[in-house]
Structure 1
Amino acid sequence: MTFYKMKNKYIINAFAALLLMIGLTSCDNRELVQVDNSAAPIAMDLSAEHIFLDKNYPDNPALNVSWTQAAYTVPVEVNYKIEASKDKDFKTPYVLGTVAQSLRTATYTVSQLNTAAQTIGLTKNIEGKMFLRVISALGANQIKAVSNVTTVNVTPYALEYPNFFLVGAASYVGWNSGVAQALYKMDNFSYIYTYLSQESFRFLGQQAWSPINYSIDNPGTDAASRYFKQTSANIVFSDRENMKFTGAAGIYKIEINADGAVQSLNATASPLGFEYPNLYVVGSLNGWNAANAIPMTRKSEGVFELTTTLGANTEMKFLGQQAFASLEWGNILKNNNGNSGFLGPKEDNSNIVFNGNGGSYKITVNLKAGTYTIE
C-alpha cells in the first residue's frame, strides 16, 4: 500500500513538471515569434528653436519635446528615452529623461536643460547647437527604435556645483557636523589634503546634518544620499548613510569631480604627513631666504602659530626645515597663487599671497586638517 502511494506521488510530480516545461516553451516561442517593431517614434516637435537659459529662474519650463507613438506588431508596453548630444551621431549621448508608454511628451526646466547643455560640452554664455532624439524600447531596452534627429540652439549659464563638507570617524573632526571640513572648490572640482583613518564618513552639503548628505550611489544607501558614481578602491560602501575608508591612516588628497556625468570621489596618499617637530615661514617677509626661515611655535600635533607683521602683497610658504627641501606646504594646487586657506604639499602647491596693511597678524597652520589661517 505504501509503495502504491509513493508511486502515484512520483507520477503526479513528473506530470506537473512536464506541464510547466510546456508552458514555459510556449511562452518563449510566442514572445520570440510575434513581437516586432513596425514604426519608430516619428519625431519630434520642439517648443522652441532658440533658448536662452536664465539662471535666475531654474525651475521655469524651458523646452517641451513631443513625438508620435512607436508601433509594435502586438500590444506591448513601450518606454521612451529622450537623448541629447553635441553631435548628430550621438557618440556620447546624455539622457534627458525617460517616459512611460502613456505619455508622448516631456517638459524640461531651465536647470535640467542647462545641466544637459554643459554635460554634452556646450560653452557657458555662448549659443550652441543641441541635437535631440527619442528612442522607444520594450521593457528593459529590448527591440529599440530610434526617431529622427532634430536640433535646438541653447545658451547655457555657468553651473553651480555643490559645496562639500567632510565629517565622520574617518575624518579629522569626527562626527561633529558643526565643524565639518570644507573642501576647496574650483569649478566642478573640490579638493583637500587632510587626515583619514579606517573608519566611516560622509560628506554634507552644509555644516549641519540636514538637509543635504552625499554618499556612494549604492542600492544600500538611503535614496536621498546616493551621489558618488565612482570612487577609488580605498573607499567602499559602509551603511545606509555612510562610506568607509579602507586605507592606512594618514594624510590623503581628497578629490571630488562634481560633473553630472562623473560624480567621482578619490583619495590618494600624500607624500607628506602631519606630525613634525618644526615648521618655518619663508617668503617675501624674509627675502625668500630659506636658511633664515622664521620659526613657528608648535601648539599641538601638527598645529603651529606665528604672530608677525605683514604688508601688502606678502607671499609665503611653510617649510619643515630651514631649506627648500621635501617638507614644503603652500596654497593648494599648482599654478594657484592666492589665499584659499587650504594647504598643498611640495609639487602640488603655489605661493600664499596675502594683502596685509603693515599691522600684526597671527598665522596658524594645521597640517593634519590641511588648512591655514591669517588673522
Structure 2
Amino acid sequence: MKNILKLLMVFLLPLLLVNACRDDADRDWTSPEPSFKLYDTTLGANVLYPTMENNPFILNWDNAVSGSGGYSIMISSTSDFKSKVELAKSGTNTLKTTIGALNTAMLQAGLSPYSSQTAYLRIERGTEVSNTISFAVTVYPTAGPVITNPTAGSSLVLDGSNPTVTATTFKWADYTYGVNVSYKVEMAVTGTTAFMLVGNTQNDKELAVSNFDLNEVASKLSLPVNVASNVDLRVTATSESTGGTITKSSAVVTFKLTAYQPDFKALYLVGGGTAVGWDASKAQLLYQNQNISEIYTYLENNGEFRFLGQQDWNPINYSLNADGIKDDYKYFATWSTNLEVSGAENIKFTGNSGMYKITIDQNTKSIVVTPSPIPTLPSNIYLVGSIQGWDATNAISMTQVGDGIFEYDIAISDGAEFKFIGQQSWGDLDWGNIHGGGNSGYVGPKGDNDNIKYNGGGAMYKITANIKMGTYKVTPL
C-alpha cells in the first residue's frame, strides 16, 4: 500500500505544480488583492466647476502592512487600472490636495469634460495596493486645443489662379466634450496680438479655408504679396454649462504664409436692355469690393446686355460661358434662371422690366440678378440731410432731368451727410450710399444703404441722383 501511495504522489506532484504555475499565469496582476484599506470619501458635488478649483480633497488610508517608501495615489477611468495616472505622492497615510488637481488628473486619465463618468482611485506602495473606491463625476476642461496642422515652421503659398479651391485645412486635437463647443480660428502677424478671425466651427476640430478667404485675412493683416511672412495661428475653444462659460486657447503655432495680389476685373455694363443702351463709351462701371461687383440698375424684359472690360467695344467682352457664345466672350460659369444666351455675344434678361440688383462674384465667375427692394422708378426725389436739418417733412424737391434722374444745386459744408427719399417723410422710398456710409458714387435702396458723406467746404455743388443707373454724383459748380 505504501508503495502505491508513493507512486501516486510521483504522478500527482507534477500535475499540482503545473496547475499552480497556471494559476499564477492566469492571475490579473493589474488588479491584485488589496493589502491595506483606503477609506471612502466624497467630492461634495458630483459636478465639478472651475470655481471649486481650490476646494480641498482629502483621502485617508491605513498604513501598508509591509514595505517602505511613499505612497502613490492613482486614478483611472477603468476599474482594472490598465491606464492610470498619478494624482500625487504622500509620505503618510493621508493626502490633502485640491479639486483642481483632482480634476486635472481625471482628465489625464481619460475622463471627458461635461459628461458624467466613473473615476476609480486606489493607493499603491511598492507591490502593495489598497482597495479601490469609485465615484461618478463630471469634470471640466482645463487645457486648450492643440494645433496639429499647420506645423511650426511649415510654409503655405496661396494660389491666386484657383481662389475657390481649399488652400489648407487647419486641424487641432481637443477633449471629447459632453456639450457643444465652439471653436474660433484666428491669425496674426508674428510678434503682434492683433488676431484676425479666419473662421468658426462647432464641435468640428478642423476648418477648411479657400485661397481667397485666407488671402482676404492676409490682406486685412497687411501682409506683403508674393513674400513669405511669419504668421501666428491660434484656436480658442468656448464651452458652456450650468457652471458658466469656459474659454481655453491653444498655444500659438507660427508658420510662413505667402499671399497674392488679387486680379479683380473692372466690369462695365452695356446693352439695349439697360439704362445705358448700346453706347460703349457710356458703359456703366459696376461697384466693386474685392471679388464682388454689383449695381442696382434698370433691366428691361427680354432686353439684351453684356459686360465690357473698358468703355469701348474692344478688346475685352464678357458673356455667358455657354454653347453658341464667342469663345473670347465666354466668362460666367453660372447664372440665375432669369438669364439666358442671346446670339453669339449677349445675355438676355427674361424677368419683368424694373429695378434689379446685379451681383457678380469674380471668384466663382457667377452672375445673379435679383429684384431690388424698390422695384420701380420714383416719380419724385427729395434731398434730406444735415444740409437742411434732417427734416424729412421739408425735404428739398429735386428737379427731374431724365428718366429716373434728378438734380439740385446746393452749398455743402465739411462733414455734410445726406440721402434721397421718394416722399416728404421717412418711408420705404429711401436711397443712400450703397451698403454703408461714404461717397462711393453708387446708390442702394432702403435696407442696403447709409448716408452719403461729403466734405464740401461750404462751396456750391450740383447733386445728381440717377436712380435708374444706380449712381449719384456731387459736381463742383
Shorter-chain TM-score category? Answer: 0.5 to 0.7
1:287 equivalenced with 2:380 (yes/no):
no
Aligned match of 1:204:
308
Deviations 1:234-290, CA, capped at 9 Å, x for gaps: 01122222111111111101111111xx11101111122454332111111122111
Q: Which runs of 5+ in 1 are unaligned?
A: 1-48, 59-82, 90-115, 130-151
- The one-letter amino acid paired with 1:86 is T
Q: Specify the code of the residue in structure 2 equivalent to 1:255.
A: T
Q: Is the 1:221–1:240 Cα contact (8 Å) retained in structure 2?
A: yes
Aligned partners of 1:278, 1:241: CA distance in 2, in Å?
37
Matched residue count: 249
Q: What is the alpha-carbon distance in structure 1 between the residues aligned to residue 428 and residue 210 of structure 2?
A: 44
Partner of 2:458: 358
Residue identity matched to 2:309: G
Q: Percent identity among equivalent residues?
A: 42
CA distance in 2, matches of 1:344, 1:312: 23
Q: Which has the larger radius of gyration?
A: 2
2:325 maps to 221
Q: Are 1:162 and 2:262 an aligned pair?
A: no
Q: 1:349 aligns with which of 446, 449, 473?
A: 449
**Which residue does the alignment assign to 2:417?**
315
Q: Secondary structure at the match of 1:291?
A: helix
**CA drift at 1:349:** 0.7
Q: Given the alignment of the two structures, is residue 339 of structure 1 paired with residue 439 of structure 2, yes or no? A: yes
Q: How far did residue 84 of structure 1 move?
A: 7.0
Alignment partner of 1:374 is 2:474: yes
Task: Give the superposition deviation at 1:128.
Answer: 7.8
For 1:88 and 1:323, the matched residues in 2 are separated by 52
* Structure 1 residue corresponding to 2:211, chosen from 90, 95, 118: 118
- Shifted more, 286-295 versus 322-331: the winner is 286-295
User: Can you give the 5+ residue segments of structure 2 that lack an aligned partner in the other structure?
Assistant: 1-153, 172-208, 224-228, 233-254
SS in 1 for 2:387: helix
Matches within 5 A, 1:1-375: 85-87=167-169, 118-119=211-212, 121-122=214-215, 123-124=217-218, 125=223, 154-197=257-300, 198-259=302-363, 262-333=364-435, 336-375=436-475
**C-alpha contact (below 8 Å) 1:222/1:240 kept by paired residues:** yes
1:318 is paired with a residue of what secondary structure? strand
Q: Is the alpha carbon distance of 1:84 and 1:372 closer, same or farther for their aligned partners in structure 2, counting shifts above 3 Å?
A: closer
Work out the CA distance in 2 between the residues paired with 1:236 and 1:268.
Answer: 15
Runs of 4+ in 1 over 6 A off after TM superposition: none
**Distance in 1 (alpha carbons) for counterparts of 2:170 and 2:293:** 33
Q: Residues of 2 paired with 1:250 and 1:164: CA distance? A: 21
Q: Distance in 2 between matches of 1:277 and 1:244?
A: 27
Output the CA distance in 2 between the equivalents of 1:176 and 1:313.
Answer: 37
**Residues 88/275 of structure 1: CA separation in 2 closer, same or farther (3 Å cut):** closer
- C-alpha distance in 2, partners of 1:249/1:121? 40
TM-score under structure 1 normalisation?
A: 0.61
Cα distance in 2 between the residues matched to 1:84 and 1:299: 50
TM-score normalised by length of structure 2: 0.48
Separation in structure 2 between the aligned mates of residue 365 and residue 221 of structure 1, nearest angstrom: 35
8 A Cα contact 2:355 2:377, kept in partner:
no
C-alpha displacement of 1:117: 7.4
